[in-house]
Amino acid sequence: MTGEPVLDRAHGLDLLRQMVLIRRFEEKAAELYTVGKIRGFLHLYIGEEAVAVGTMQAVGPDDNIVATYREHGQALARGIPAGSLMAEMYGKATGCSGGRGGSMHFFDVSRRFYGGHAIVGGGLPIAVGLALADKLRSRAALTACFFGDGAVGEGEFHESLNLAALWKLPVLFLCENNLYAMGTGLSRHQSQTDIRRKADAYAMPADVVDGMDVLAVEAATRRAAASVRGGDGPFLLELRTYRFRAHSMADPELYRAKQEVEEWKARDPIALYIARLPEMGFLADPDLAAIESGVAAEVDEAVRFAEAGPWELVEDLTRHVYAPVTS
């Protein structure tokens, strides 16, 4: 978990496979949304794959994760089965949240994945609480808290950073800065656009990394995680990335120029990585084909799983409001 990544062929190809899985899963989700299988809101992770995959290399099974409504990438990188996520978006009872949450509320407590939050900034106080419990119980773990650049506008961002720093809580604050809070660009919503510098106000160490470079992301996250695990308190890591798709399926993108999008697409994290792998001696043509076909099968299976899943019974509507009563 700590130190520089050990980059052998297996790990190298695994990073690629994970990013491709996220990409193809998201593309399939988009398609299923247009035909009405997935409803409500759908926030795609396309373009940001390197962030989820790279950061997760530094997060272990004992660590907690809190994420946002754009959490499909993190959920897949965490190892939550694609079928369970797809079924959740279908609203089936076999979804990771029992069909009760949908795309924005993936939960898997067995993997310490604490959501899936739709209120921007709403997850940060939860992350602080999880870290506090771990500290009080002397449990050696950190809490990885994902949020976007929009969240740094929320009071809860500031309150959470302050409290985590004050009490030296093991929170790894991971800011996925994709330059837009829905339709408002960073420079239009932040007086200080260098997000990493905000940690200074809370006497917290911070770093920034190119979020389109999965290896750099992994290395930076390992260093940040090491700092947190060392007992020095929270760390703010800003990951500079870009979402290639609209904020959600319903966004006409009036707020950003098509040219800007194209410029960022030229830095597609998957394409960048594939381009680098041969020089490291890791990628041959059959490797990529095998990865694509394996991922295609996994995504198809996830859709089948979702299609076949049962609907929850309407009679159970009022379950999960309180803990079940044991006689």
Using CB under 8 A, count the residues that bind other proteins: 53
The residue assigned the tokens 């004992």 is 62
Give the residue with the Cβ less far from other proteins, 250 or 323: 250
Residue among 190, 221, 227, 241 that touches other proteins (CB under 8 A): 190
Any contact of residue 160 with other proteins (CB under 8 A)? no
The residue assigned the tokens 């929170």 is 171
Any contact of residue 6 with other proteins (CB under 8 A)? no
Distance of CA 230 to the CA centre of its chain: 24
Any contact of residue 120 with other proteins (CB under 8 A)? yes
Give the residue with the Cβ less far from other proteins, 45 or 282: 45
Any contact of residue 125 with other proteins (CB under 8 A)? no
- Residue 48, classed as helix, strand or coil, is coil
Residue among 7, 11, 13, 41 that touches other proteins (CB under 8 A): 41
Residue 155, CA atoms < 13 Å, CB-side half-sphere: 0
Min dist CB 75 to other proteins, Å, is 16
Q: What is the DSSP code (8-state) at residue 7?
A: -
Min dist CB 200 to other proteins, Å, is 19
Phi, psi dihedral angles at 145 (to 5 degrees): -120, 110
Any contact of residue 153 with other proteins (CB under 8 A)? yes
Any contact of residue 139 with other proteins (CB under 8 A)? no
Residues, the chain, total? 327
Q: How far apart are CA 89 and CA 37, in angstroms?
A: 8
The site string for other proteins over 71-110 (x = CB under 8 A, - otherwise) reads: --------------------xx------xxxx-xx-----
- Measured N-to-C along each axis, helices 214-227 and 9-34 cross at an angle, to the nearest 10 degrees, of 110
Any contact of residue 312 with other proteins (CB under 8 A)? yes
Q: What is the DSSP string of 229-298?
A: IIII--EEEEEE---SS-SSTT---TTS-HHHHHHHHTT-HHHHHHHHHHHHT---HHHHHHHHHHHHHH
Structure-block tokens of residue 28: 């399939």
Task: Write the secondary structure of 170-237 as one string of H (helix), E (strand) and C (coil).
Answer: CEEEEEEECCEECCEEHHHHCCCCCHHHHHHHHCCCEEEEECCCHHHHHHHHHHHHHHHHHHHCCEEE
Residues 234 to 263: which contact other proteins by CB under 8 A? 246, 249-252, 254-255
Give the residue with the Cβ less far from other proteins, 206 or 306: 306
Residue among 53, 145, 172, 181 that touches other proteins (CB under 8 A): 181
Residue among 109, 119, 271, 280 that touches other proteins (CB under 8 A): 119
Residues in contact with other proteins by the rule CB under 8 A: 27, 30-37, 39-41, 91-92, 99-102, 104-105, 117-122, 150-151, 153-156, 181-184, 188-190, 246, 249-252, 254-255, 311-312, 314, 317-318, 320-321
